[in-house]
Chain A
Amino acid sequence: MRFRATLPLLGLLAGVAPALAQEAEVIHWWTSEGESKAARVLADAFEASGGTWVDNAIAGASAARQASFTRIVAGDPPEASQFNSGREFEDLAAQGLLTDISAVAQEGNWDQTVPQALLASAQIDGKVFAMPMNIHGRNWIWFNAKLLEEVGAEVPAGWGEDMFVALDKLKSAGKVPLALSGTPSYELSLFESILLDIGGANLWYGLYQHQAPEAFASAELRQAFETYARLRDYVDVGSPGRTWNAATNMVITGEAGFTSLGDWAKAEFAAAGQTAGVDYGCILPDGVLQIGGDVFVFPKLSDDDAIKAQQLLIETLADNTTLRNFNAAKGSIPPRADVDMTGTDVCAEKGSAALQISDTNVPRLTMLQPSSVAGEIQDLISQFWNDPSLDIETAIARYTEIVLNG
């Protein structure tokens, strides 16, 4: 809010120069140090092309989302709002409150360059309403390479038997085998990582997109629950409530062998001066990357000047150079294949490779299911993880009921 008040003032001080300053207010939640640097990249690009970026950074995704909703519904929309890739903005689009950017998508060949899963979540009834800004891979396994060597464990390929051999070795060496952030979202994330490893993209779409009865009855789903339940014995007692960065830190310091996290963990390894492929390693189970990311939506405006400013903003954000610089600052993968990605680390290269073919990447749960369903799945999986008395049969039955009943 402070920015909102001061930036226009700064504009006034600068001389009120162009009578029609192309002013665009942007609501986003990139408030951490690294994130705000990334947001600054966008602001600079917009100002370089003649606009005035009115920064409205709100800490916390849900607070920022809520601010956007309230402003848009109340008829006082910002020029652009950040959302997560998914169905969060679906209701806004359905009520005709968002600008259709299909033309921009066509011009940029998004159907060729943006991963299918990501583009689909930006579309409603064939029209594009959201601009993908970045991609985060969510289902990585990270490990401490030196520690694995020390206890004589091989690097496993995923969540198969080889993983349990390695986990057992770590356990008997007195280490924490699996550092887990014991919060519902990361408990679900671990389950999803296993599910993708065992069932691949097929099962994923079968469950969450086609809601196919045979997917829910499949042996793979059962096996995923069994593997997940087995992992309960490999986390430490301090796991419940632990933050994701604390879990990452346990792997960095060699207190723990493995952790299951999205690629945002990489920033922690980098900050600790570690190198991918040397000090730490990354495993992409079954080579299937589960992706999510941030998008911008552009609310419909009525004022002509504002519409002009919004158009300029859309053009700026869609620019390849802007995207590359933004993603470099944020540590994420650009959402478009035509953005050059050379000079990154082994893990980022693995991730980019998985993005090239549509079989090896799937959209995250909230891109396929409404957030209320995703939330109920999260509750169930978290309950299953923490309460061993909840047997697999019951868990699968409830899981099926949640997804099918919507």
Chain B
Amino acid sequence: MKIRSAQVALLPMFAIVATVYVGSILWTIGISLTPSRSLPIYEFVGLEQYVALFRSSRWTTSLVNMLVFGAGYIGGCLALGYLMAIFIDQKVRAENALRTIFLYPHAMSFIVTGLVWQWIMSPTEGIQDFVRGLGLTGFTFDWIVRPDMAMYAVIIAGIWHGAGFVMALLLAGLRGVDTEIWKAARIDAVPAWRMYLHVVTPILVPVFVTCAVLLSTHAIKSYDIVVAMTKGGPGIATEVPAKFVMDYLFERSSVGRAAAAATVMLMMVMAVAAPVLYARAAAAKG
């Protein structure tokens, strides 16, 4: 009886998931096969929207940018976050204050982060202008206005936002490492850096994976930081897939194209998530 009441209690949740999530996904996939513009038109045109989608250089640029951003952002956050965690783990004074400072950027929305960094990096009013004002007139830091470097400017802002979060998780992980291991290392006179590299890091792999998965969702849905920082520019240099979907859905009244783009994004997420889920399931089975 107990089981049945639990099932009844879960029913509404299940219904919501089925209609809102699965239903919307199926509808989106369906719409991507129609010529719909501003309004849904239920007329089958096959993969026409997808063909047009991949003919658009903005879409292909967006995909590449997402991968570049994902790699730089996740890699940067993990590296910097780990360094900060190790630093704090050295029993430094004012640990609480430092931890708060490091974690603080994560409390800000991507919109605020993007705006602030847009000002900092703007060549006419940010760092470049400041340093030149100090007398170093040859100083140049204009990544945000250069099509070839603008994506890296966005990555820097992203790392600033996410590194503290990674630090918090990894610090908890570090504190979880058995102190006996450290004692043993001290007796064997193993230098600290070797301990971190060869012993502690392998122990923390599951934490790293968790961080990477959480950050990758940010990378895939990245929209607000780009809108606030560069609006996709200069040109189309920092366009991302989520922004493509939003623009085609609203600005460009092209529901079909937007749905096709969203479907491709979904497939990419599945392509990344499926092996992870499969590996986890296999591991659980033993």
- Chain A interface residues toward B at CB < 8 A: 62-63, 65-66, 69, 73, 88, 90-92, 95, 182-184, 236-241, 370-372, 374-376, 379-380, 382-387, 398, 401, 405
Q: Nearest chain A CB to B63's CB is how many angstroms away?
A: 14
Contact of A371 with B235 in the complex, beta carbons under 8 Å: no
A63 to B58: give the CA distance in the assembly, Å. 23
Contact of B252 with A382 in the complex, beta carbons under 8 Å: no
Given A237-B123, A240-B145, A370-B37: A379 and B58 interface contact (C-beta under 8 Å):
yes
Contact of B147 with A387 in the complex, beta carbons under 8 Å: yes
Contact of B57 with A383 in the complex, beta carbons under 8 Å: yes
Q: Nearest chain A CB to B114's CB is how many angstroms away?
A: 11
Contacting chain A: which of B13-21, B24-32, B164-172, B225-233?
A: B225-233
Q: List, in ascending order, chain B residues with CB within 8 A of A387's CB.
A: 147, 235, 237
Q: Can you offer 30 A-B residue contacts whose CB atoms are under 8 A?
A: A69-B38, A69-B39, A73-B39, A88-B38, A91-B41, A92-B38, A183-B233, A237-B124, A238-B123, A238-B124, A238-B125, A240-B230, A241-B144, A241-B145, A241-B233, A370-B254, A371-B253, A372-B37, A372-B248, A375-B247, A375-B248, A376-B56, A376-B58, A379-B57, A383-B57, A383-B235, A386-B233, A386-B235, A387-B237, A398-B57
Contact of B232 with A184 in the complex, beta carbons under 8 Å: yes
Q: Nearest chain A CB to B111's CB is how many angstroms away?
A: 15
- With an 8 A cutoff between CB atoms, is B250 at the interface? yes
Q: List, in ascending order, chain B residues with CB within 8 A of A405's CB.
A: 52, 55
Q: List, in ascending order, chain B residues with CB within 8 A of A379's CB.
A: 56-58, 236
Contact of A182 with B234 in the complex, beta carbons under 8 Å: yes
Contact of B253 with A372 in the complex, beta carbons under 8 Å: yes
Q: List, in ascending order, chain A residues with CB within 8 A of B39's CB.
A: 69, 73, 91-92, 95
The residue that B147 contacts in the complex, of A62, A66, A386, with Cβ under 8 A, is A386
User: Which residues of B in the span 67-105 have a Cβ within 8 Å of any Cβ on A?
Assistant: none
- Chain B interface residues toward A at CB < 8 A: 37-39, 41, 52, 55-58, 118, 122-125, 142, 144-145, 147, 230-237, 247-248, 250-254, 257
Contact of B37 with A91 in the complex, beta carbons under 8 Å: yes
A17 to B232: give the CA distance in the assembly, Å. 53
| Closest residue on chain B to residue A374 by CB atoms | B252
A240 to B231: give the CA distance in the assembly, Å. 10
Contact of B248 with A382 in the complex, beta carbons under 8 Å: no
| A-B complex: 5 closest residue pairs judged by Cβ atoms | A386-B235, A238-B124, A386-B234, A383-B235, A372-B254
Q: List, in ascending order, chain A residues with CB within 8 A of B250's CB.
A: 62-63, 65-66
A237 to B144: give the CA distance in the assembly, Å. 10
Contact of A386 with B252 in the complex, beta carbons under 8 Å: no
Contact of A241 with B118 in the complex, beta carbons under 8 Å: yes
Contact of A238 with B57 in the complex, beta carbons under 8 Å: no
A88 to B39: give the CA distance in the assembly, Å. 10
Q: Nearest chain B CB to A405's CB is how many angstroms away?
A: 8
Q: Nearest chain A CB to B250's CB is how many angstroms away?
A: 4
Q: List, in ascending order, chain A residues with CB within 8 A of B233's CB.
A: 182-184, 240-241, 382, 386
Q: List, in ascending order, chain B residues with CB within 8 A of A385's CB.
A: 235
Q: List, in ascending order, chain B residues with CB within 8 A of A383's CB.
A: 57-58, 235-236
Q: List, in ascending order, chain B residues with CB within 8 A of A384's CB.
A: 235
Q: Nearest chain A CB to B34's CB is how many angstroms away?
A: 12
A241 to B119: give the CA distance in the assembly, Å. 11
A237 to B231: give the CA distance in the assembly, Å. 17
Contact of A372 with B257 in the complex, beta carbons under 8 Å: yes
Q: Nearest chain B CB to A374's CB is how many angstroms away?
A: 8
A316 to B177: give the CA distance in the assembly, Å. 77
Known: A236-B124, A372-B248. 12 other contacts (CB 8 A): A69-B39, A184-B232, A237-B142, A237-B145, A240-B234, A370-B253, A371-B253, A375-B248, A379-B58, A383-B57, A383-B58, A398-B57
Q: List, in ascending order, chain B residues with CB within 8 A of A183's CB.
A: 231, 233
Contact of B123 with A372 in the complex, beta carbons under 8 Å: no
Q: List, in ascending order, chain A residues with CB within 8 A of B248's CB.
A: 372, 375
| Closest residue on chain B to residue A373 by CB atoms | B252
Given A240-B234, A386-B235: A372 and B147 interface contact (C-beta under 8 Å):
no
Q: List, in ascending order, chain A residues with CB within 8 A of B231's CB.
A: 183-184, 241
